[in-house]
Structure 1
Amino acid sequence: MKKFDIRNIRVRKVSVDDLDDRMLLINLYATQGLTFIIGLIWVLFQRQNLVALFNIPKELTFLWWGVGLAAAVILVDLLIARFVPEEAGDDGGVNDRIFRNRPVWHIALISFIVAICEELLFRGAIQHAIGPYWTSIVFATIHVRYLKHWIPTGLVFSISYGLGWIYMQTGSLWSAIIAHFVIDLVMGLIIRFRRES
């Protein structure tokens, strides 16, 4: 039996073009799983009640906050896409690779998983510790593929702050989850069905 030698591990920079579709999905789901585990552990260390954190409120105002923020974000994003050159919002082709050839059900599944995992970590755990402003800086930094351009970086920061704000207004993590889900779903569907010019 061959011994495992840590010195044989090599790390190299890989672009999205170097990944096949299977590896891209494995990477996506693995990072979301890691995000969920870190968020779960952080929430438990903060001694928050996990059941209460995911409790769905009886009143539907959280739903309207989530859908309202998502609609505003999508409108702003579409306006930016219309009037700003495409290079200014380039993410290196990651979103296009993730959503371009996916069936609608898979886009919805990806959007739901990302919304749950990221909102648990960022709104449920990190915002509880350091507030919405610093959480939004961390959120924008984590989305490293946008950092080359100031417009998508600013948009990601603003979306994160908006998610944190509606979470504070409603007291329900579900308002942020719904907003995050709708934003990712609609933008994924736009990428999926966009006609090439």
Structure 2
Amino acid sequence: MKKINFRNIRIRKVDPAELDDGMLLLNLYLTQAITFVLGLTIVLFQSQSLIALLRLPDRLSAWGWAVLFAIGVLLFDWLVARFVPEEVTDDGGVNKKLFRLRPLWHIALLSFVVAVCEELLFRGALQHAFGPYWTSIVFAAIHVRYLRHWLMTGMVFAISYGLGKMYVMTGSLWTPIAAHFIIDFVMGCIIRYWKDEEDGEG
């Protein structure tokens, strides 16, 4: 049997410009499907009640906390974009490639899918086992495109930790889902519409 020489294996950084739109979308939806199945499996192995976990919050304040948290994150992100050099916040062009030409309904769909799948895994499953701190470490680590910059990694960790504390405070998984959705949806719309106007493409 021929041995594999691992020293000859090279990992090449992929330029987002090289990815075609269909491949990018397929990769995103496939990743989210895996995230959802993994989260669901862990929740069931933990003997949590999926019905109880996905029950809508019984207090209106839970939705209010989601909106306030999302506004806080978006304001902080605006300040970072305004005062920090662009190369520090660069994600390799992935978000721009993903949202730049996307219709509004698809931005909303992508944001909802990502919010539900990621929050089920991280807040619903992993946080149940490890708490918000260690869950946020993992959450920041999987956002590999930000790991080159300590500021962006710190922001992702802080957002995740805030979502985790909000889940603990409200007792509803829909609170972090709603906040996550608002953040991604507004960011996607900014990339799609506002950035295009700035670049003279809109």
TM-score w.r.t. length of structure 1: 0.92
The CA distance in 2 between the partners of 1:154 and 1:99, in whole Å, is 23
Q: How do 1:5-16 residues align onto structure 2 when only pairs under 5 Å count?
A: 13=12, 14-16=14-16
3-state SS of paired residue (1:185)? helix
Deviates more, 1:10-19 or 1:79-88: 10-19
- Displacement of 1:149 in angstroms is 0.8
The CA distance in 1 between the partners of 2:31 and 2:170, in whole Å, is 28
Question: Cα RMSD over matched residues?
Answer: 1.4
Could you tell me which runs of 5 or more consecutive residues in structure 2 were left unpaired when the two chains were aligned. none
Which residue in 1 is equivalent to 2:17?
17
- Displacement of 1:151 in angstroms is 1.2
Letter in 1 for 2:84: V
The CA distance in 2 between the partners of 1:163 and 1:140, in whole Å, is 13
Which residue in 1 is equivalent to 2:31?
31
For these two proteins, the number of residue pairs brought into alignment is 189
Q: Deviations over 1:83-104 (max 9, x none)?
A: 0010010000000000000001
Could you tell me which runs of 5 or more consecutive residues in structure 1 were left unpaired when the two chains were aligned. 1-6
Which residue in 2 is equivalent to 1:196?
198
1:63 correspondence with 2:63: yes
- Displacement of 1:150 in angstroms is 1.1
The CA distance in 2 between the partners of 1:144 and 1:104, in whole Å, is 27
The CA distance in 1 between the partners of 2:85 and 2:68, in whole Å, is 27
- Displacement of 1:188 in angstroms is 0.5
Which residue in 2 is equivalent to 1:140?
140
Which residue in 2 is equivalent to 1:79?
79
Q: How do 1:113-192 residues align onto structure 2 when only pairs under 5 Å count?
A: 113-192=113-192
- Displacement of 1:18 in angstroms is 2.0
- Displacement of 1:12 in angstroms is 5.5
The CA distance in 2 between the partners of 1:164 and 1:78, in whole Å, is 22
Q: Deviations over 1:58-105 (max 9, x none)?
A: 221110111110000000000110000100100000000000000011
Which residue in 2 is equivalent to 1:4?
none
3-state SS of paired residue (1:38)? helix
3-state SS of paired residue (2:198)? coil
- Displacement of 1:55 in angstroms is 0.1
- Displacement of 1:172 in angstroms is 0.3
- Displacement of 1:11 in angstroms is 8.7
The CA distance in 1 between the partners of 2:59 and 2:130, in whole Å, is 28
Which residue in 2 is equivalent to 1:3?
none
